[in-house]
């Protein structure tokens, strides 16, 4: 028998002393809405549900952590079936992975809106870092809880992957298109700067995170000095004689 064939039956109502057909009808409509909601969420790819659920979880994470309880509360608030929510975010590792991916996407979107492409490289990287922390300002405890998950030995690979993804997202948002060795060295260096800045930011209670901004500026200054030194060294090495070419001439002298 389908839902349309069900006829409301009179039953005792907690709000009325007698049987109430209105409440029976309301209950049927509620079950119908639940079924419709489940059908709608079943049609949405899990990849699209994850950031939506993560956003709804954030108010609960400071109290319940990245847990099934926080996920279920978020699912209820969003009208998403709990079983489907569990498929999208089955465990804490998946939740934290989705949380960092959402933060990367938000940062890249803000960078594009700010016109980062017209800035100097130094200013682009500074903007990427400060934007990331500004966007997370209201969810600092959720970030702290996420780091606690990533610090667990079984999640070492996830921690490395999410850090690399964040550094890559920052460089891409900054307009980097390098495909040679610099592609990897840039992300490795920025990953180190981001990690240090993140730990500093978590304990920063200054106005508008001014201390964190100053910390970021000092780290970027260090990178710029390193890059200048590397460029000078690379240029000096390029001017040195090529040993392979010299040995080749010894073996095959020009005639």
What domains, with CATH codes, occur in the chain? 1-43 (no CATH), 45-90 (no CATH), 92-255 (1.10.357.10)
Inter-CA distances, 3 with 9, 23, 100, Å: 14, 17, 41
Token representation of residue 65: 């952590």
pLDDT for residue 58: 98
Tell me which residue has tokens 């029976």. 24
**Alpha-carbon distance 195 to 130, whole Å?**
13
Tens-place pLDDT, residues 115-154: 888 899 899 999 999 999 999 999 999 999 999 999 999 9
pLDDT for residue 222: 80
pLDDT for residue 234: 59
pLDDT for residue 231: 60
Which spans in 114-154 are helix H? 121-135, 140-150
What is the full per-residue pLDDT of the chain (255 aa) written as tens digits?
444 444 444 444 444 444 444 444 444 344 444 444 455 556 789 999 999 999 999 999 999 999 999 999 999 999 999 999 999 999 999 999 999 999 999 999 999 999 888 899 899 999 999 999 999 999 999 999 999 999 999 999 999 999 999 999 999 999 988 888 889 999 999 999 999 999 999 999 999 999 999 999 999 988 777 666 666 665 555 666 655 555 555 555 554
How many beta carbons lie within 10 A of that of residue 197, not counting itself?
A: 22
pLDDT for residue 174: 92
């Amino acid at each position: 028998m389908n839902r349309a064939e069900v006829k409301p039956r009179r039953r005792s109502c907690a709000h009325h002393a007698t049987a109430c057909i209105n409440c029976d009808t309301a209950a049927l409509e509620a079950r119908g809405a639940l079924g419709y909601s489940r059908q709608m969420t079943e049609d949405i790819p899990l990849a699209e549900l994850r950031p939506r659920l993560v956003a709804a979880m954030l108010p609960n994470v400071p109290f319940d952590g990245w847990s099934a309880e926080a996920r279920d509360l978020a699912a209820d608030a969003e009208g998403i079936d709990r079983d489907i929510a569990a498929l999208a975010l089955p465990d804490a590792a998946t939740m934290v992975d989705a949380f960092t991916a959402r933060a990367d996407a938000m940062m890249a979107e803000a960078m594009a809106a700010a016109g980062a492409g017209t800035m100097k490289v130094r200013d682009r990287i500074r903007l990427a870092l400060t934007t990331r922390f500004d966007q997370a300002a209201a969810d600092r405890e959720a970030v702290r809880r996420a780091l606690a998950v990533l610090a667990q030995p079984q999640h070492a690979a996830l921690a490395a992957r999410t850090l690399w993804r964040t550094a890559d997202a920052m460089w891409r948002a900054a307009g980097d298109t390098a495909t040679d060795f610099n592609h990897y060295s840039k992300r490795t260096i920025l990953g180190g700067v981001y990690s240090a800045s993140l730990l500093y930011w978590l304990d920063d209670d200054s106005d508008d995170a001014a201390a964190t901004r100053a910390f970021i500026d000092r780290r970027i200054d260090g990178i710029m000095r390193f890059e200048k030194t590397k460029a000078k060294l690379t240029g000096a090495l390029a001017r040195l004689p090529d040993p392979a070419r010299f040995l080749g001439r010894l073996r095959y002298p020009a005639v």
